[in-house]
Amino acid sequence: MIRSAITVSLVSEARGGPFVFWDDLSGAFSRTAKLGFDAIEIFAPGPDAVEDKLLRGLIDQYGLPVAAVGTGAGMVKHGLNLTDSDAGRRRQARDFIRGMIDWGAKYGAPAIIGSMQGKWGGAISRERALELLAEALNELGDHAAACGVPLVYEPLNRYETNLLTTMSEGSGFLRSLKTKNVRLLADLFHMNIEEANVAQGLRDAGRYLGHVHFVDSNRRAAGLGHTDFGPIAAALRELNFAGYVSAEAFPLPDSDTAAKKTIESYRNLFKT
């Protein structure tokens, strides 16, 4: 079963970014539950940012699981990434992500590595960056397995990384890893830029597909851009995808409208 989710950001440094709900975690849970989403995806400043009692209380009160947790605060707050030319900074990046894996795992949620993958350039060649990324994903993937959750890796579009930008590259890379615990995140906005055909990109992810960022061509809620979602939904069904399609979209024209449009599109595409 394909399940719906929606994002909330608690990271002030990410303001202006593509998250539907902002700042108020309790309010986001309440609105997410009311609109009928299956789960919530949390972009938090760090592993200690949300009190355990509060989060467990919200999960119970609203019956909403956590779909995933983002790790990008390591980048936007601390300037860390896994392919930094400085070994100490790379270690800090891994430590930050390990903390986020541990935090998410308490609620059964996988951590997502997106911007924390970094970019190659300067003292770091593309080959060296991919070697560093592979080392980090092997270590963190096995750590996540020990915590009982997968680790999710997200190829990004060319303006956000120069490492891996398509599902085909992503699945080839995951196949080369020692760890078997890393899954791909297919972000439909990035794919709209990088894939020749988005539905085919999902098929290229194939058995590695673990999570989808469900969003339109312009990073607005699904239904507010020009993406043709029919073939995308068909590809996800064909793959028997059983994860979350999670709205990582701008709160435009406002959070509630973006959320409503998303759940409406989700129902039209996946509940027919």
- In the complex with Mn ion, which residue's Cβ is closer, 58 or 117? 117
CB of 249 to Mn ion, least distance (A): 10
Q: Residue 41 interacts with Mn ion (CB under 5 A)?
A: no
Category of 106 on φ-ψ map: left (φ > 0), alpha (ψ -120 to 50) or beta:
alpha
Residues 100-159 that bind Mn ion (CB under 5 A): none
- In the complex with Mn ion, which residue's Cβ is closer, 213 or 220? 213
Catalytic residue among 41, 194, 195, 248: 248
Residues 158-197 that bind Mn ion (CB under 5 A): 187
- The residues near 93 (Cβ < 8 Å, ≥ 6 apart) are 74, 80, 81, 82, 84, 116, 118, 136
CB of 242 to Mn ion, least distance (A): 19
Q: Residue 220 interacts with Mn ion (CB under 5 A)?
A: no
- In the complex with Mn ion, which residue's Cβ is closer, 58 or 109? 109
- In the complex with Mn ion, which residue's Cβ is closer, 113 or 124? 113
Residues 44-103 that bind Mn ion (CB under 5 A): none
The verdict on whether 169 is a catalytic residue reads no
Segment near Mn ion (CB under 5 A), from 120-128, 139-147, 166-174, 240-248?
Answer: 240-248
Residues touching Mn ion, count (CB under 5 A): 3
CB of 156 to Mn ion, least distance (A): 7
Integer angstrom CA distances of residue 171 from 155, 199, 246: 10, 15, 20
CB of 93 to Mn ion, least distance (A): 18
Segment near Mn ion (CB under 5 A), from 32-40, 86-94, 103-111, 209-217?
Answer: 209-217
Options 248, 255, 259, 265; binder of Mn ion; rule CB under 5 A: 248
* Residue in this structure with the two tokens 């069904």, named with its chain if needed: 237
How far apart are alpha carbons 91 and 81 in whole angstroms?
9
Q: Side-chain half-sphere of 143: how many Cα atoms within 13 Å?
A: 19
Q: Residue 213 interacts with Mn ion (CB under 5 A)?
A: yes
- The residues near 269 (Cβ < 8 Å, ≥ 6 apart) are 222, 229, 230, 232, 233
The verdict on whether 160 is a catalytic residue reads no
Cβ atoms 137, 179 nearer than 8 A: yes
Integer angstrom CA distances of residue 241 from 3, 32, 195: 9, 22, 19
Helical segments of the chain, H only? 25-35, 52-62, 73-76, 87-105, 126-146, 167-176, 188-194, 198-205, 229-238, 255-270
- In the complex with Mn ion, which residue's Cβ is closer, 187 or 216? 187
- In the complex with Mn ion, which residue's Cβ is closer, 17 or 47? 17
Greatest distance between any 2 Cα atoms in the chain: 52
How far apart are alpha carbons 249 and 222 in whole angstroms?
8
The catalytic residues are 154, 248
Note the residues at the interface with Mn ion (CB under 5 A): 187, 213, 248
